[in-house]
């Protein structure tokens, strides 16, 4: 007798901030290194039925690994990430969302040509038919700083309209620190409020970077359960259970009747 077992399936996109502020050392050894370690931990803890993708974002968002369940490829993509440039939190989430949503996504208000004026359109997500991707989640590892015109809150609203939860993992401290970039010192601090708002808009959760909290992310990633794939052979198990029951019956018969029927 073969029994089909339910398997947890779906897609998770890990969006990792690679901006210069992630060089700050108020997370050990740096914010970026802490983010990469947390991302690797997530990959290692997932079953092979879940596909994972990697997106990096600095001034823009880039897909560095398409969805796969090959752990070695995912870890290699995470290891290759290097810090560079400014931060577009909205572009990072947008790149992650665009990777999984089949419909064309409108870009929320952004200054793509650098003239100081938003080039994108004002978007009402409730008027869009993006489909439903409830078995997809985005986990963003970032300090929450944002230096671009792409509106992260509007991108989060797009994700919500598509049924995609965005979970945010904050790196660094709210007290902040100073980081030196190309000989220039600049202050940088964790923006908890921004990251909390993004998560709440989509029904996701905000977490600090302390390791124990990541278990909550795993529990909150709401993927689907399907009956598919490998079947487990249970004939031997049933037969073994039958033998045990027969033996138990014989023992009880001896106790109550003094004989085995």
Q: Which of these ranges, 3-7, 53-57, 108-112, 187-191, has the smallest mean pLDDT?
A: 108-112
pLDDT of residue 74: 98
CB-based contacts of 139, cutoff 8 Å, min separation 6: 12, 13, 14, 15, 39, 42, 166, 167, 168, 169, 217, 221
DSSP state of 211: G
pLDDT of residue 114: 42
Tokens of 216: 């909550």
pLDDT of residue 115: 47
Tokens of 24: 């700050």
Alpha helices by DSSP H, listed for 187-234, are 192-202, 214-220
**Mean pLDDT score, 229-243:** 51
CB-based contacts of 145, cutoff 8 Å, min separation 6: 19, 21, 87, 89, 188, 189, 191
pLDDT at 134 over 60: yes
- Tell me the pLDDT band of 219, cut-offs 50, 70 and 90: low
pLDDT at 251 over 50: no
Query: Which pTM value belongs to this model?
Result: 0.79
Name the residue with higher pLDDT: 212 or 45. 45
**Mean pLDDT score, 128-147:** 91
The angle subtended at Cα 209 by Cα 135 and Cα 145, nearest 5°, is 85
Q: Dihedral angle at the C-alpha atoms of 243, 249, 250, 251, nearest 10 degrees?
A: 110
Tokens of 235: 């004939």
DSSP state of 66: E
């Amino acid at each position: 007798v073969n029994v089909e077992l339910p398997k947890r399936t779906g897609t998770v996109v890990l969006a990792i901030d690679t901006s210069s502020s992630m060089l700050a050392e108020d997370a050990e050894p740096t914010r970026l290194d802490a983010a990469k370690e947390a991302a690797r931990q997530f990959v290692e803890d997932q079953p092979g039925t879940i596909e994972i993708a990697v997106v990096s974002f600095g001034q823009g968002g880039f897909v560095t690994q398409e969805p796969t369940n090959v752990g070695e490829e995912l870890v290699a993509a995470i290891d290759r990430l290097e810090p560079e440039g400014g931060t577009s939190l909205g572009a990072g989430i947008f790149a992650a969302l665009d990777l999984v949503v089949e419909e064309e996504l409108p870009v929320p208000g952004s200054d793509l040509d650098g003239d100081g004026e938003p080039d994108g359109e004002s978007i009402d997500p409730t008027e869009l038919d993006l489909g439903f991707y409830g078995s997809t989640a985005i986990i963003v590892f970032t300090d929450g700083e944002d230096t671009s015109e792409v509106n992260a809150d509007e991108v989060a609203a797009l994700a919500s309209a598509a049924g995609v939860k965005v979970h945010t993992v904050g790196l660094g401290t709210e007290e902040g620190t100073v980081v030196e970039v190309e000989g220039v010192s600049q202050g940088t601090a964790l923006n908890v409020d921004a990251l909390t708002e993004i998560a709440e808009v989509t029904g996701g959760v905000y977490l600090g970077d302390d390791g124990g909290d990541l278990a909550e992310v795993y529990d909150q990633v709401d993927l689907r359960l399907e009956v598919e794939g490998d079947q487990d052979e249970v004939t031997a198990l049933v037969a073994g259970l039958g033998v045990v029951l027969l033996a138990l019956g014989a023992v009880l018969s001896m106790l109550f009747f003094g004989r085995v029927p």
